[in-house]
Amino acid sequence: MSENEQDKRLEETAGEEPAKEEKSGREAYEWVQALVCSVLAVVVLFTFVIRLIGVDGYSMVPTLQDGDRLLVTTSLLSGEYRYGDIVIIQKGTFADGDPIVKRVIATEGQTVDIDFANGIVYVDGEALGEPYINEPTYTDEGTEFPLTVPEGSIFVMGDNRNRSDDSRNAELGTVDTRYVIGRAVFLLFPGADEATGKRNFGRIGLIGGVEA
């Protein structure tokens, strides 16, 4: 190989190295950019769209167990709350400000009355069938009935009626929907069953409402 050919070859090799470094740097920048965008998307998703909430206590037995992990759609996606929805509420002046999980029994404009002697709940004068409850509603917690739910509010109770602190308690009463974090839509991981102490993984799945 002549001297001129050697010089030309060296020039070509020297030109390839900066090009490779530039390509490698561009790829690294694009990878970091994609990673940052993905992290931001996850943060936004779990801040404004969905939340992961754990059930604490037995107030929703038999529907939910202590330790259940729920996927919750926030109020941005939930829309109007309806009878039968399972919702997560957080009010600073109640339950030490911790989130509580309850079922919607009545919405704005509806009138709730409870016959505690017979354990029957009435909404707008009609007795609810309530196939989801653990036992009839015998426990009076201080709220006066009949009660008409104010605009922008809901009346909630736990399915385990005689072990639930809910809208029957005058300290909570009807709940302004601004205190509602969202609606439970999916059971991601089951807690141990109160009766058996075992986890039933067959419970994993969608959490439906109740037909009115």
Active site amino acids:
59, 102
Segment (H or E) for 103: strand 100-107
Are the CB atoms for 120 and 137 separated by under 8 Å?
Answer: yes
In this structure, what DSSP letter does residue 81 have? Answer: -
Residue 29's contacts (CB-CB under 8 Å, 6 or more residues apart) are none
Backbone phi and psi for residue 111, each to the nearest 5 degrees, phi listed first: -110, 130
End-to-end CA distance of the chain: 91
In this structure, what DSSP letter does residue 115 have? Answer: E
Strand-pairing partners, residue 184, are 72
DSSP code string of 51-76:
EEEE--SSTTTTTS-TT-EEEEEEHH
Block residue for tokens 């069953």: 193
Strand-pairing partners, residue 53, are 70
Residue 69's contacts (CB-CB under 8 Å, 6 or more residues apart) are 52, 53, 54, 55, 187, 188, 189, 191
What tokens were used for 105? 């029994």
